Amino acid sequence: MYIAEETDHGMFTANSQSIQFGPWHISYDVSCILPSICPTKVVCERDDDQFCAFCIYCKELSIPHFPDMVFPKNILTLAHSNGAKIQFIPLDALKHVSNKVQAIEVACSEAWLETRPDAEKQKQTFDWTFQTDYKGTISDNILVEPTNETINFELLKQKEQILFYHDLTLFEDELHDHGISKLSVKIRVMPTYWYVLLRYFLRVDEVLLRSHETRMFHMLNTDYVLREFTSKEAKVQDINIPFTQMKEADDVLPFMPVKEKKTEKLIINPI
Ligand SMILES: [Zn+2]
């Protein structure tokens, strides 16, 4: 196993780190924030397939607004030597954000709007909480099937040497100071396994808490990855902890009821 580091001092400074874990090449990029306007209009208006990240997002996404902070190149990639690939990409995650308002969003929206009468009406025309049920981008040669197997959380708690770790923010929005909507992904590589936690966390202050978590676990010398999706939701009034202790996802997630849970097996070497 080795860790490699590259730094690009170009216009879009990116930091890359990678590790080899058996047949897996695990890497991530860290980069700057998505601009809120096109910085290279002359180039992008030529319409010859050379576009800045902002223009690509505008073309690919149907939502009228993007989160305050999007990190377009913050991408985690787990590539297997047989060609299989698992990635966590902000653009793909935002493709899962609805451009229609859900019933619950309207209810929340109204409560939220009461707390800030200056809110733009526009906020009610799409999912302004950027809720996404994105579970990672997986290549076509990975077979997905249901399983009764579960992730061994006891193993995850064991103290072992951490070979590789990173926490990447894919996007974040503070809902005009009325909460938070955040998608992040963590990778941890240990001597015998790798583990990924992709988490969407929403807190609309005084109204609602919601999370969508995708965990991926791969044990060395096996040909599959376990993928567990868990969604949780609670009204703030139903959670019996002080509001000041609701700032971070880790503070409230243990108290939130599970709405949905599903585990699948991603077969890396289908026969
Ligand atoms: Zn552009």
**And the tokens for 57?**
């997002």
All structural domains of the chain with their residue ranges: 3-267
How far, in Å, from the CA of 176 to the mean position of ligand 1? Answer: 25
**And the tokens for 141?**
């040669």
Instruction: Return all residues near 201 (Cβ < 8 A) that are at least 6 apart.
Output: 180, 181, 182, 183, 184, 210, 211, 249, 253
What is the tens place of the pLDDT at every residue in 58-69?
999 988 889 999
The reported pLDDT for the residue numbered 257 is 95
CA distance 261 to 265: 14
How far, in Å, from the CA of 15 to the mean position of ligand 1? Answer: 22
How far, in Å, from the CA of 12 to the mean position of ligand 1? Answer: 14
How far, in Å, from the CA of 47 to the mean position of ligand 1? Answer: 10
Residues 240 and 255 sit within 8 Å (Cβ to Cβ): yes
Confidence tier at 8 by pLDDT (50, 70, 90): very low
Residue 7 has pLDDT above 60, yes or no: no
Confidence tier at 49 by pLDDT (50, 70, 90): confident
| Lowest-confidence pick of 33-37, 62-66, 130-134, 165-169 | 62-66
How far, in Å, from the CA of 215 to the mean position of ligand 1? Answer: 34
What is the tens place of the pLDDT at every residue in 204-223?
888 889 999 999 999 999 99
The reported pLDDT for the residue numbered 247 is 80
| Lowest-confidence pick of 5-14, 31-40, 164-173, 236-245 | 5-14
How far, in Å, from the CA of 138 to the mean position of ligand 1? Answer: 28
How far, in Å, from the CA of 186 to the mean position of ligand 1? Answer: 30
Q: Is the whole model's pTM more than 0.85, yes or no?
A: yes
